[in-house]
């Protein structure tokens, strides 16, 4: 096993800079997920760690060894790609052992390693099958077995589950998480799926435009997003944002849509210290609630329910007041109907205040 350290890493293609400067340390044994939209630089970062892309500037260390300019074979890594890249004419046993044969590992030792890995992957009964005779999930396990059998210091995974259907992805996420708990191998995992990031990573690194927006444990990223981009990217449905004027630290106003929101006393200091005259109020859908009988507050406002999405265990409501659009997540037991006007309450204890210019969460400056 090994830690991974990226210091002042840059990637340029001619005059075009893809990664301007990236600093990241991945401790030994951590499952780190690089997540972000297409083109954010996450796969390029992974490929530089793997040695598949050259590094334009900075230093890369794996297990305390400078590997910045070493070829992939000398980096003590194994990689699982989006495409399983299995040899179609080889059975499962030969696909898993292929790398061992190219490194001239003795046959008896290679056979034992394949047996151990196939047992761990629950693939003992499939060793004589060809890839075309396997399901997508089984082929994914063969690709993983080919990486596992090398016993590397670092696993690199580039969207390995994207070719699976929804049910298999859930099963595979659970399987990979369990494997990491058992093996404890340092893992760097790339995905654009924030659900994968939240459920699998011990730490999430959110990227955009070639830069790290936030690196923290999943629930910290969810509960305390560093900026508006992170808040909008992590979470499904996405966080709601309402542009409001700061009438005073105690009150936020959208005069155009007739929305007035009181700020609880323990949150007023944030606004006062920020000196902002306007903010983007961020609220997760679960923090927009139907008002109970007798509930009276400036944070309670009438909205029209435009769309009801009944999901069985919960209901998502698209609600509107003038040009203000918000998504609320309510319990399945709530009786709601499209087109009706209802009073909704914003849970200001869980609200976020974002600087409308920088996009930064002003609470992160406390």
What's the confidence (pLDDT) of residue 298?
A: 43
What's the whole-model pTM score?
Answer: 0.88
Both 49 and 161 in a single domain? Answer: yes
**Helical pair 107-120 and 92-102, crossing angle rounded to 10 deg:** 130
Rg (CA), the chain: 25
pLDDT of residue 116: 84
Q: Which of 230, 260, 279 is the last residue of a domain?
A: 230
> Does residue 122 form part of some domain?
yes
Count of structural domains within the chain: 2
Each residue's pLDDT, cut to its tens digit, for the chain (366 residues) gives: 689 999 999 999 999 999 999 999 999 999 999 999 999 999 999 999 999 999 999 999 999 999 999 999 899 898 888 777 888 999 999 998 888 888 788 888 888 888 888 887 788 888 999 989 988 878 888 888 888 887 788 999 998 887 777 787 888 788 888 888 888 899 999 999 888 999 999 999 999 999 999 999 999 999 999 999 999 999 999 999 999 999 999 999 999 999 999 999 999 998 999 999 999 999 999 999 998 866 654 457 899 999 999 999 999 999 999 999 999 999 989 989 999 999 999 999 999 999 999 999 998 754
Q: How far apart are CA 241 and CA 121, in angstroms?
A: 44
Query: What integer pLDDT is reported at residue 168 of this predicted model?
Result: 74
Out of 178, 201, 230, pick the residue that ends a domain.
230
**Is 158 in the same domain as 307?**
no
What integer pLDDT is reported at residue 1 of this predicted model?
63
Quote the distance between the C-alpha of residue 202 and its chain's center: 11
Spatial distance between the Cα atoms of 265 and 249, rounded to a whole number of angstroms: 9
Q: Residue 101 domain-assigned? A: yes
Contact 67, 74 (CB under 8 A): yes
157: domain CATH number is 3.40.50.300
Residue 132 lies in a domain: yes
Full residue range of the structural domain in which residue 256 is found: 240-365
Sign of the torsion formed by the C-alpha atoms of 303, 306, 308 and 309: negative
Residue 15: inside a domain: yes
Query: Which pLDDT belongs to residue 294?
Result: 61
Q: What is the dihedral of CA 267, 273, 274, 276, to 10 degrees?
A: 90
Let me know whether 79 and 216 are in one domain: yes
Cβ neighbours for 317, distance < 8 A, ≥ 6 positions apart = 305, 307, 308, 309, 327, 328, 329, 330, 336
287 lies in the same domain as 318: yes
Task: Answer yes or no: is 81 within a domain.
Answer: yes
Residue 289 exposure: Cα atoms within 13 Å on the Cβ side = 16
136-148 helix and 107-120 helix, angle to the nearest 10 degrees: 130
Q: Count the Cβ atoms, other than its own, within 10 Å of residue 341.
A: 10
177 and 90, same structural domain?
A: yes
CB 315 within 8 A of CB 332: yes
Say which DSSP state 333 is in. T
Closest by alpha carbon to 10, among 61, 56, 62, 79? 56
Instruction: Examine residue 313 and state whether it is found in any structural domain, yes or no.
Output: yes
The answer to whether residue 187 is domain-embedded is yes
Facing residues of 59 across strands? 7
The pair of structure tokens assigned to 227 is: 């900026």
Q: Contact, 163 vs 119, CB < 8 A?
A: no
CB within 8 Å of 111: residues ≥ 6 apart: 97
Q: Do residue 185 and residue 53 come from a single domain?
A: yes
The answer to whether 155 and 185 have CB atoms below 8 angstroms apart is: yes
On whether both 156 and 210 belong to a single domain, the answer is yes
Residues 209 and 122 in one domain: yes
| Distance (Å) of CA 71 to CA 2, 24, 49, 89 | 17, 21, 10, 28
Residue 235 lies in a domain: no
CATH value at residue 286: 2.40.50.140
pLDDT attached to residue 299: 55
Are residues 265 and 182 part of one domain? Answer: no
Judgement on whether residues 287 and 152 belong to the same structural domain of the protein: no
Do 96 and 202 sit in the same domain of this protein? yes
Q: Is residue 35 domain-shared with residue 103, that is, in the same domain?
A: yes
SS3 for 243-268, per residue?
A: EEEEEECCEEEECCCCEEEECCHHHH
- Which of 230, 252, 287 is where one domain is finished? 230
């Amino acid at each position: 096993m090994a830690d991974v350290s990226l210091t002042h890493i840059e990637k340029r293609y001619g005059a075009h800079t893809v990664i301007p400067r990236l600093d990241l340390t991945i401790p030994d044994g951590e499952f780190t997920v690089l997540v972000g939209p297409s083109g954010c630089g996450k796969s390029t970062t992974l490929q530089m760690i793997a040695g598949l892309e050259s590094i334009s500037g900075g230093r890369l260390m794996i297990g305390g060894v400078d590997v910045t300019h070493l070829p992939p074979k000398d980096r003590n890594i194994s990689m699982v790609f989006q495409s399983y890249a299995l040899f179609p004419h080889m059975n499962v046993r030969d696909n898993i052992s292929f790398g061992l044969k190219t490194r001239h590992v003795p046959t008896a030792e290679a056979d034992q390693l394949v047996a151990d890995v196939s047992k761990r992957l629950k693939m003992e009964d499939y060793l004589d099958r060809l890839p075309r005779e396997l399901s997508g999930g089984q082929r994914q396990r063969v690709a993983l077995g080919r990486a596992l059998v090398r016993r590397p210091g670092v696993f690199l995974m580039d969207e390995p589950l994207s070719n699976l259907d929804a049910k298999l992805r859930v099963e595979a996420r659970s399987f990979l998480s369990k494997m990491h708990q058992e093996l404890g191998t340092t893992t760097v995992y790339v995905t654009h799926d924030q659900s994968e990031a939240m459920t699998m990573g011990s730490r999430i690194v959110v990227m955009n435009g070639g830069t790290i927006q936030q690196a923290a444990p999943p629930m910290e990223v969810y509960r305390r997003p560093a900026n508006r981009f992170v808040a909008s990217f992590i979470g499904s449905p996405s966080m709601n944002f309402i542009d409001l004027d700061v009438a005073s630290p105690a009150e936020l106003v959208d005069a155009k849509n007739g929305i007035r929101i009181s700020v609880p006393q323990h949150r007023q200091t944030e606004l006062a210290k920020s000196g902002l005259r306007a903010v983007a109020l961020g609220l997760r859908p679960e923090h927009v609630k139907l008002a109970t009988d007798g509930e009276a507050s400036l944070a309670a406002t009438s909205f029209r329910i435009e769309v009801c999405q009944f999901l069985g265990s919960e209901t998502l409501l698209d609600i509107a007041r003038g040009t203000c659009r918000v998504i609320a997540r309510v319990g399945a037991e709530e009786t709601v109907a499209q087109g009706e006007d209802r009073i909704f309450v914003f849970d200001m204890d869980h609200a976020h205040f974002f600087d409308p210019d920088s996009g930064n969460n002003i609470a992160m400056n406390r």
